[in-house]
């Protein structure tokens, strides 16, 4: 199964801890650690048909974009709608603030380049290990990362 790194809302799925665990073959261990069934932590990306994990599987923004046949929310005549604004401004998820800029970058520079940029952004500056959206320290080397804070 292929992994899909871009989401309808403009997020980079590669920064999600569940996506990373699935991609790296660590989903079973994560499921045990979280005390959840494997299918609740397995994800191949928002735009894939293999999404059963977390909030994304029930996301109204995802459902809306799929129903309308859109690649991104930015393509919608109603953008930004109230659901998307609430998503962007959710105080517990500061990395959501990058979503609109992400969509605009994809449109201007192309998906391939954007994925490479995001892959570099969501890495530890000390050891280059992948980090997740809300990681404060790198699991591999212990360095402070806080990549999501740069989103403001």
Find the domain containing 34 and state its range. Answer: 13-151
> What's the whole-model pTM score?
0.90
Instruction: Tell me, yes or no, whether 69 lies in a domain.
Output: yes
Instruction: Tell me, yes or no, whether 2 lies in a domain.
Output: no
What pLDDT band is residue 149 in, cutting at 50, 70 and 90?
Answer: low
Question: In the predicted model, what is the mean pLDDT of the chain?
Answer: 91
Instruction: Tell me, yes or no, whether 7 lies in a domain.
Output: no
Q: Please, are residues 147 and 135 in contact by the beta-carbon 8 Å criterion?
A: yes
Instruction: Tell me, yes or no, whether 142 lies in a domain.
Output: yes
Surface-to-core class of residue 83, CB atoms within 10 Å of its CB (0-12 exposed, 13-18 middle, 19+ buried): middle
Q: Is the pLDDT of residue 11 over 80?
A: yes
Q: How many domains does the chain have?
A: 1
């Amino acid at each position: 199964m292929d992994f899909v790194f871009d989401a309808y809302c403009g997020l980079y799925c590669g920064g999600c801890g569940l996506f990373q665990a699935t991609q790296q073959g660590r989903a079973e261990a994560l499921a045990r650690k979280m005390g959840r069934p494997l299918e609740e932590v397995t994800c191949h990306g928002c735009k894939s048909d293999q999404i059963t994990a977390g909030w994304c599987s029930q996301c109204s923004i995802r459902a809306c974009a799929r129903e309308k046949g859109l690649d991104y929310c930015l393509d919608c005549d109603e953008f930004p709608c109230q659901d998307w604004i609430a998503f962007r401004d959710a105080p517990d998820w500061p990395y959501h603030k990058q979503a609109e800029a992400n969509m605009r970058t994809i449109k201007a520079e192309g998906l391939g380049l954007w994925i490479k940029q995001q892959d570099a952004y969501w890495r530890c500056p000390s050891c280059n290990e992948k980090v997740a959206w809300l990681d404060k320290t790198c699991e591999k080397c212990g360095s402070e990362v806080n990549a999501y804070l740069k989103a403001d």
